[in-house]
Amino acid sequence: MRNSTYLKMGLNMLVHSKLRSWLTIIGIVIGIGSVVGILSLGDAMQEQVQSRLAEMDLTKITISPGYIKASSNMPGPPGMRGSSTDAELTDDDIEALQGLDGIQYIAGQISGSESVIYAAQNATLSITGVDPQVWRYMTTLKTQSGRLLEPADKYVAVIGSVVASGVYDQEIGVNQVITVNGKAVRVVGILEEEGGRGDRSIYMPLDGAVNLLDDAEEGVYDSITVKARSEDLVDELMEDIVDKLMVSRHIIQVDDRDFSVTASKSMAESVTEMTSSMTLFLGAIAAVSLLVGAVGIANTMFTSVLEKTKEIGTMKAIGSKNRDILMIFLFNSAMVGLVGGILGDILGACVSTLFPVLGLQMMRGRGSDTFEVYFAPDLMAFGLLLAVLIGVISGIIPAYRASKLKPVDALRYE
């Protein structure tokens, strides 16, 4: 027989067993739709993560008070705290680190929340005190109007986009004056929306912030930020920072450390790995439904072989070979997978389209309003091929058993 004959007979079997075939196809549709939908979601999340990483400064290293093993590169059970977080970071630490090779900029910063009044309205907002001499070179934030902080500034501020237009009834503009903890502070710049905490923050020079923030002390910092000369130097520089601070702070045992060193690069790698793992995990769960669909196809094919035993006997009696019977049933199972794959792709596309509608916007990129899920053509092709492959694999054993039936036994079958 020709392949066209196999195809015609397999299609004829599919058409004349409508209810059973369609019930089987539904299983494949759900499986393929789930896998394709989740993979397209995963691709979109990966794209959003890569977009955000491209905007991050991966040369940034942050030193924080307290030591948590999970945030360090040292071995140990995740989440174990090594020492108290009461330790302070001071000018002495900055001086100790300034001689290290690989450091381009280093600065301490303080942070806190204070009452901020504008147009007779009061709101408690986050305030960060930064070194204006180097902050403009270390931050990735950009202004939509006005300017960044300058070395001669003191009681001025650069505010996030939400602070400017989303906190008070009246919008705050450049050169407007806000009152922070009773002190007048002039706004010199408004930042572009970046989709993070920076949108709700106020940035001030260290000198001014020390005077306005409660519990702030001159020369004492909540964190120290280091900018490496290049991304390739980050890992080595982190080790040098740990060694240098342990010596300068007279710490002998690693477990006695009272500071933590983290890098944006490490955090970015962790986020990428987490996203990939989550996509793989969800895809594996969706693949279970494919397994159920495959069992359904196999069950349908076994039933079909039993129903058509006499027809198989007749075909063999008039000259059909084992290979002909095998190919007819394999084409039939492949077509079940093909139809399920086509409908599964359509279902996956619908599910992908619904993700943003359902409010899945947690991975918004800077400046983007929605979380967009793309349905790639290669993913559609993958879903289709996977469905056909599952159909063929599920039909192999029933087709083989049908091809091995003896004509006499098949014709006597009741």
Integer CA distances (angstroms), 203 to 54, 64, 153, 210, 359, in order: 23, 19, 12, 12, 31
pLDDT value of residue 269: 78
Beta strand pairing call for 143-146 and 177-180: unpaired
pLDDT value of residue 116: 92
Provide CB contacts within 8 A for 28, sequence distance 6+.
290, 293, 296, 297, 336, 337, 340, 341, 344, 387, 390, 391
pLDDT value of residue 221: 93
For 113, the 3-state DSSP assignment is strand
What's the helix, strand, coil split of the chain in %, to 5? Answer: 55, 20, 25
If we measure between CA atoms, which residue out of 28, 29, 35 comes closest to residue 280?
35
CA distance linking residue 109 with residue 342, whole number of Å: 57
Instruction: Please state the φ and ψ torsions of residue 151, each to the nearest 5 degrees.
Output: -55, -30
| 182 Rama sector, left if φ>0, alpha if ψ -120 to 50, beta otherwise | left
pLDDT value of residue 220: 92
DSSP string, 271-311: HHHHHHHHHHHHHHHHHHHHHHHHHHHHHHHHHHHHHTHHH
Start-to-end CA distance of the chain, whole Å, equals: 28
Q: Which stretches of the chain score pLDDT less than 70?
A: 1-3, 16-18, 68-86, 355-375, 413-414
Tokens coding 255: 């477990």
pLDDT value of residue 71: 46
CB 179 within 8 A of CB 117: yes
